[in-house]
Chains A and B, each alone.
Chain A
Amino acid sequence: MLKQIALGTTISVVALSAAMAQDTLTIVSWGGAYSMSQLKAYDEPYTEKTGVEILHEDKSNQALAGIRSQVEAGNVSWDLVDMLQADAQRACDEGLLVEIPHDEWLAPAPDGTPPTEDFIDGTLGDCFVPQILYATMFAYNTDAFPDGGPQTIADVWDLEKFPGTRALEKIPQKNLEWALIADGVPSDEVYDVLATKEGQDRAFAKLDSIKDHLIWWDAGAQPPQLLADGEVTIATAYNGRIFNAAVNEGQPFEIMWDGQMFEVDGWVVPVDTGDEDAIKEYLNFATDTQRLADQAKYISYAPARKSSVDLVGNFWKEEGGKMVETDIDMKPHMPTTPENFKNAIQFDTEFWADYGDALEERFNAWLSS
């Protein structure tokens, strides 16, 4: 159905003999259109340049557990893993990841600016090299709301004006923040409120008020599908997925740029994995200014380097198995574009590292009650 996503699985490259292992890198990512953008922007040019084959596995949603069990077993088969910043922090704390000296490993900007200054502030981590900034936000099917869709987070909670089922991601992260915002908490106080027992009660009570109208997704490909099938009228989603469904398949989807939470996604290297030089070389190539800008051709996620922003061009679309340039300028679709960025909220990875375990338990208790 979603051709774009089906294509993502194309990337899981087929059988390569173990004897050739030194000429391959195994990369774990999210699958779908996102993996395809990496394939086009990083892997194909890299293979062409060096002859190294890139094997993709779509297992990033289990990255933390996967790395842990491989490291504990002393048998790490993943060379690079694409991971959320918050999970990367946990894994780094657990000693599962290589600490990365950014200025030594990564390429400087074309004008010579060192990586530590070129990457957007606060995105680099001890074990983490960011690739993209993406937003999770509400999107809706315009067919469901002929008189105009929801414009604010509070509208999402307004079942009378905007009827229908909503789909949220099956995690407490972001949903609790939005619940507080819908309940009137100013966005810069959200995390302070959420750190208190009363704030947590308040967030859960607000979610509870629309619980009967919620369904839950756990893979990024699901929300566009749910919106397209009419199973829901409003869904939270990653901005790139909605963009692709709208542009590539002409789905009547609209993104609501209010209270969207932006997050960073990037590379980590598990300890005790394969040839460090080969990994370093790929990492250096795949996170340079041009490559990060190239990725934005295929999916509407913002490059994590300041120097890449001006290089972002038009959207490239898959047609008959080939990528062709369209006349859609990607810049207005970037989550970092000032117009979209007005009411954005930075996702607080530190907060979730501290409160994640407890809130996840409570969230699960609430879900099943």
Chain B
Amino acid sequence: MALPSHASRLERIWHYTYLVICGLIFFFLVAPIIVIIPLSFNATPYFTFTREMLTLDPAGYSMRWYDALLTSDEWLSSIRNSFFIAISATIIATTLGTLAALGLSRREMPARAAITAFLISPMIVPLIITAAALFAFYARVNLSQTFFSIIMSHVVLGAPFVVITVTAALSGFDNQLIRASQSMGANQVTTFFKVILPLLLPGIIAGGLFAFITSLDEVVVVLFLAGPEQTPMTVRMFSGLREEISPTILALASILVAMSIGLLTTMELLRRRSEAHRTGRG
């Protein structure tokens, strides 16, 4: 946002004040997340920077909390559980969500707005209500405390994100490409796999990543549904935070932040790719 050359003194002052304010807001957004990373290397079990840490004395830092995390069977098995649940839920949610988005974007779809609103609703219904209802439901059909019930619940919570991102990708989609493909003799299936899918892939992957992170991060439903064999890492973190917050949690949190950065990069690359697609061929 460049300042015009004729800007008055007052405008200049305001302009720089504005930039400082924005800088502070960005700091507010990011600093809390970044600050836990150095703290997770704290040699002492406290949540503040020790004098040694501030003077960059190596003695102030240690890997002990990462050690504690990665040698603990409970943490490792709960991390495994979390990933197993998240990956399974993502595959199902992405499939169902993509199909639904394809249907919703057809002009012939009746009651489109109402049905979209319905499919998105798990995102906005308070989680405590969803969790209690799902628990009652799966308990009644003898499936509570199983991976199946947790995965299915996470499909419910993750699918709306897929519907949203794929619908958004489809809205930028040029339907003439379908006609072009079909006029050249491709049938519907070939058209879908050769033309539609490659163009939608960034949207689908983005939706899938959302579903994945939603499941991985979900606490309330698993608090109700998970038995000791399914305990995911979020449940452990939650009770840890409630009862005795130990730097081991910060070690796991730092790993999760690193993972978020990785996912974010993937998303950014996908976005660029899809933008290139659109501007190149649209």
Contacts and interface: CB of A to CB of B under 8 A. Distances in A.
B139 interface: yes
B145 A77 contact: yes
A324 interface: no
Contacts of B231: 12
Interface string A50-85: 000001111000000000011011110100000000
B243 A222 contact: yes
B222 to A, nearest CB: 13
B69 to A, nearest CB: 12
B139 A70 contact: yes
Interface in B113-155: 135-136, 139-140, 142, 144-145
Nearest to B248: A6
Interface in B147-183: none
A339 B280 CA distance: 86
Contacts of A12: 74, 228, 231
Interface in B225-263: 227-229, 231, 236, 239, 242-246
A69 B135 contact: yes
A225 B243 contact: yes
B191 interface: no
A1 interface: yes
Contact of B243 (A10, A14, A221): A221
A261 to B, nearest CB: 22
Contacts of A1: 45, 244-246
A16 interface: yes
B139 A73 contact: yes
Contacts of A58: 239
B74 A10 contact: yes
A296 B142 CA distance: 38
B274 interface: no
A10 B68 CA distance: 13
Contacts of B228: 12-13, 26, 55-57
B139 A69 contact: yes
B244 A14 contact: no
B229 A15 contact: yes
B88 interface: no
B74 A221 contact: no
B77 interface: yes
A327 B160 CA distance: 61
B73 interface: yes
A77 B77 contact: no
Contacts of A6: 244, 246
A298 B51 CA distance: 38
A75 B144 contact: yes
Contacts of A77: 144-145, 227
Nearest to B132: A69
Nearest to A222: B243
- Indicate the size class of the contact surface on chain B: 20 to 34
Interface in A218-271: 218-219, 221-222, 225
A311 interface: no
A73 B243 contact: no
B244 A69 contact: no
B152 to A, nearest CB: 16
Given A13-B228, A15-B229, A57-B228, A73 B244 contact: no
A16 B229 contact: yes
A63 to B, nearest CB: 15
Interface in A198-234: 218-219, 221-222, 225
A167 to B, nearest CB: 13
Nearest to B77: A14
B53 to A, nearest CB: 18
Contacts of B45: 1
Contacts of B239: 58, 219
A284 interface: no
Contact of A75 (B77, B142, B244, B246): B142
A59 to B, nearest CB: 9
A56 B144 CA distance: 17
B243 A69 contact: no
Contacts of B144: 70, 73, 75, 77
Interface string A10-27: 101111100000000010
B249 to A, nearest CB: 11
A2 interface: yes
A5 interface: yes
A284 to B, nearest CB: 24
B227 A69 contact: no
Contacts of B244: 1-2, 5-6, 221-222, 225
Residue among B140, B229, B239, B246 having the largest count of chain A Cβ atoms under 10 Å: B229
Nearest to B223: A62
Nearest to B247: A1
A9 interface: yes
Interface string A306-328: 00000000000000000000000
Contacts of A70: 139, 144
10 tightest Cβ-Cβ pairs between the two chains A and B? A73-B139, A221-B243, A75-B142, A219-B243, A12-B228, A73-B140, A57-B228, A1-B246, A225-B244, A15-B229
26 contacts: A1-B45, A1-B245, A10-B73, A10-B74, A13-B228, A14-B74, A14-B229, A55-B228, A57-B227, A69-B136, A70-B139, A70-B144, A72-B139, A73-B140, A73-B142, A74-B140, A74-B142, A75-B142, A75-B144, A77-B144, A219-B242, A221-B243, A221-B244, A222-B242, A222-B243, A222-B244
Interface of B: 45, 73-74, 77, 135-136, 139-140, 142, 144-145, 227-229, 231, 236, 239, 242-246
Given A1-B45, A14-B229, A15-B229, 16 more contacts: A1-B246, A10-B73, A12-B74, A15-B77, A16-B229, A26-B228, A57-B227, A58-B239, A70-B144, A73-B142, A75-B139, A75-B140, A77-B144, A219-B239, A221-B244, A225-B244
